[in-house]
Structure 1
Amino acid sequence: MKHPIDVHVGKRIRHRRWMVGTTQQQLAEKVGIKFQQIQKYETGMNRVSASRLWDIAHALGVPVSFFFDGIEDAPVPASDMPGDLLSDREALELLRSYYAMPENQRKQLFELARVLSQAA
């Protein structure tokens, strides 16, 4: 049975991997394991040891604490949003594209999205 903490950490691994545009194979090679193991970590099927999490954090350029961010928050999904944004490919691609833009364009896009969502 999957433990909720393992599932959360796995989702954060997948989220960061997507944000930096790395494949499971590329991450596995950096960490020195098979890509199937990355798949198992990302789904929470296998627990990530402390030393392996350290290696993954280093490979993805984040502190280990990144993988535990938001763990104390119980997300309350809106009815028109996917229950798990970190597993939604479209949402992750949107985030990656958003952060690839210059800051002034991001601010303008954010304001536009905020206004459009209020008008809906």
Structure 2
Amino acid sequence: MKTHHQDWLTDYLAAKKTEDRAYHSRMRLCQRFYQRYQFSQRVPCVSKVKQDELRDIHEKYASHFWAKFATTAHVDIINVDETSVYYGMPPGKTLAKVGGSSKVDKSQSTPTA
């Protein structure tokens, strides 16, 4: 909004009674926008390995896994590697299309939405 619609934003904020009201009104406007167009607020993550390499690793592991457990029923396989990871840094947030990726390049220091 600040970049492409500066005049509209200035008029919109000036029409509000207080700065606090203007801030909350603008935040609600943004929330309605990203809910309407199916965006979600997510914390970006940086890839250290290229997607092609990750895909190759995944395919190799999947073929090894299914060769070993081919006779095991799918209902008997339980995914137990859902481990939380916490980093000692403040999270930034970005909007990402639902079902899409929230990955950012290493060179992108601050995500913009």
Q: TM-score, normalised by structure 2?
A: 0.27
Larger Rg: 2
Q: TM-score, normalised by structure 1?
A: 0.26
Q: Tell which has more relative contact order, 1 or 2 (C-alpha 8 A, sep 6+).
A: 2
